[in-house]
Structure 1
């Protein structure tokens, strides 16, 4: 079992983030000591935390992460990842068009 400070250091999630994740039932402590309310995490919690860190880096919202954790299905996660990838590719395409428009505008100004 890991104390919150140890778990925070191990996962890279701040104590505040861990508290928030517990509050929204995204990552709850494995055990809460009834005498002092200290929260403890276990190895299973660690693997969930690593997944959550990865999902955040991939741009998942808290609600999307909750959806993944509630569903516990790789098929659902795969669908969400493909959807996220499609949206990013669309954004890249739109930004590329903006770059081309800027280049065209700059080129037309230099010709005059």
Structure 2
């Protein structure tokens, strides 16, 4: 069993993030000592924490991560990730378009100065 500080160092998730994940029901400690309220995590928690960190890194919202965690079979994970990928690709195209618009605007300003 790992104390929250050890678990935080092990997973790379901050103590605040771990508290928040417990509060919203994403990753609850496996044991809370009734005497001092220390929270403890185990190896199973470690695997879930790594999954949550990866999902967060992919840009999933807390709601989306809860959906994944509530689906114990992870059947819908691929669909969710493919949808996220498509959204990211759309955002990239929008940003590329904005960059092209900025370049065009800058060039038009330079042409007027000539």
Aligned to 2:95: 95
Query: Unaligned regions of 5+ residues in structure 1, if any?
Result: none
Aligned to 1:39: 39
Runs of 4+ in 1 over 3 A off after TM superposition: none
Taking structure 2 as the reference length, the TM-score comes to 0.89
Taking structure 1 as the reference length, the TM-score comes to 0.91
Instruction: Give per-residue Cα distances to partners, 1:7-66, cap 9 Å, x unaligned.
Output: 011011111211111111100111122232221100000000001111111111111111
2:57 is equivalent to residue 57 of structure 1: yes
2:28 is equivalent to residue 28 of structure 1: yes
2:79 is equivalent to residue 72 of structure 1: no
Query: Unaligned regions of 5+ residues in structure 2, if any?
Result: none
Q: How many residues align?
A: 112
The answer to which of 53-62 and 31-40 deviates more is 31-40
What's the Cα RMSD here?
A: 1.3
